[in-house]
Chain A
Amino acid sequence: MASSTYLSNPVLTINSVDLTDMCTAATLTYLVEALEDTAFGTNSRSYTAGLVNNEVTLTMYASFAATETYATLFNLVGAKTNVTLTPASGAESATNPKFILTGCYLESLPVINASLGTLSTYDIVFQGGALTLDVTAP
C-alpha cells in the first residue's frame, strides 16, 4: 500500500479567475527539452538541458454564462496569461504548493464542442511560460 497518496482535487485559476468548479482534468507538465550531446567514444546516448517548455492541458465545462469559461477564455486566445494550480484547497505550503505558470500562451479554443447527450467541454492547452512555486500562505 502506498505510504502517501493524493486525491485529485486541485484549485485552478486562469488569468486570476477561479475556474475550479468548471474543470474536470488538469495536467501541468514541467518540461526541459533534451538536447543530445552524445559524441564518438561513448556507448550510450547522452542529453543536456535545452529550453524549458512547460504546458498545461485542461478539460473544462463549456459555459456561455456571464463570467464563466467562455468569457474567461475567448479573450485569451492568441494572448499570454497566468495559470495557477494548487493540489488542494487551503493555504499554500510546502506540502500544498501553488504552481504558477506565468506568460503561457493559449493558441486555440473549441468554441463549439457539441456531442449528443453529453455536456459540452473545452479541451485547451496553455503552452510555454515560466513556472514558479509559491509555498507561502497569503
Chain B
Amino acid sequence: MIYTIASSKLGIVGDPYIPAAGINVEALLSGGFIVKQSTPKPKKPAKTSTEPNEEN
C-alpha cells in the first residue's frame, strides 16, 4: 500500500510516506495524517479485433 503525507507534522504534504517498522499506520490514517494513495490501474491494451476468416 502506498501512502501520501497529509499533515505538515509528519513531513512535506504530498510526499509519499513510507512507514518505519513499528509505526501504527491505522492511527495515522484515522487521525488524518496520511491518506491512501490510489494506484492507477494499468491501461487495458487496445482491443485488436480480428475478424474471423470466413472460408467460403
Chain A residues within 8 Å of B, Cβ to Cβ: 15-19, 66-68, 71-72, 74-76, 79-82, 102-103
Contacts and interface: CB of A to CB of B under 8 A. Distances in A.
Interface centre among A16, A71, A75, A103 (most CB of B within 10 A): A16
Interface range on chain B: under 10, 10 to 19, 20 to 34, or 35 or more?
10 to 19
A71 to B, nearest CB: 4
A16 B21 contact: no
Nearest to B7: A67
B27 A80 contact: no
B9 A67 contact: yes
Interface string B2-27: 00001101100000000111111011
